Amino acid sequence: MITPWKPAALAGTALTLLLSLTAAVPAAHAVPVEASSTEAVTVVPLTVAAARLPVADENRTGYNRTLFRHWNAGLNPSDGCNTRNEVLIAEATTAPAVGARCALTGGVWWSYYDEQRVTPAGSLDIDHMVPLAEAWDSGASAWTPARREAYANDRGQASSLVAVTARANRAKADQDPAQWLPPAPGALCRYLSEWTATKLRWNLTADTTERTRLIALSTQCTTTKVTWTPAP
């Protein structure tokens, strides 16, 4: 049987469909799904963050730098830029030219540890804010190889990897803030904040001396905040 066409019925059906579609579409001001990780962001004063660090004795047994694979192909494996070059591009104060296979030409950087203007890119080291050996001592020894690689190439939090002069990076070596601090006076609060953020992001422990020193130094940085998101 052929049902006669009824304009009123059709209009009602269309209205019902329109309302159901409208309900399914989020409002313009709604938070998109991909922004859900933002909900995990924690921001607290440095003094509070330092006190949150879990305490444990360090143990370097079995450590080898090769257990943290780096540098890998970076956030976009198809663009030819490894993690090192991605950090250099992101942190440049004057952008370098990016050539074939991500060869960098020109560019200027600011090494905040020692307040040095640096060029070219080859004069810079990429410092793991919490050195690989320190991470191993602080819990990474129990991680899978994939998680250690993720840590060594962490682009999910800008403070995890920092472009600095080779001299400053090598002076720091694998020392924690109880043993070494940036020589530039103006670098102290930022450095303590980024160190603490990295440890909290990756759920790494601190030894008693390190944590005590961080808390004591944080009294010089009363307005400094620590921001971090948990590592995936």
User: pLDDT for 77-116, tens place per residue?
Assistant: 999 999 999 999 999 999 999 999 999 999 999 999 999 9
What pLDDT is stored for residue 16 in this prediction? 40
Average pLDDT over residues 31-39: 37
| 8-27 per-position pLDDT tens digit | 443 444 434 333 433 333 33
- Flag whether the pTM goes above 0.75: yes
Question: Looking at the predicted structure, is the pLDDT value of residue 204 above 90?
Answer: yes
Q: What CA–CA distance (Å, rounded) separates 90 from 208?
A: 35
What pLDDT is stored for residue 228 in this prediction? 98
pLDDT band, residue 39 (cuts 50/70/90): low
Average pLDDT over residues 29-37: 32
Residue 170's nearest CA partner among 126, 213, 214 is 126
Task: Identify whether 71 is preceded by a cis peptide bond (ω within 30 of 0).
Answer: yes
Task: Identify whether 120 is preceded by a cis peptide bond (ω within 30 of 0).
Answer: yes
Question: Looking at the predicted structure, is the pLDDT value of residue 232 above 70?
Answer: yes
What pLDDT is stored for residue 25 in this prediction? 34
* Segment holding 149, helix H or strand E: helix 145-152
Residue 39 CB: number of other CB atoms within 10 A?
Answer: 8
pLDDT band, residue 196 (cuts 50/70/90): very high
Residue 172 CB: number of other CB atoms within 10 A?
Answer: 22
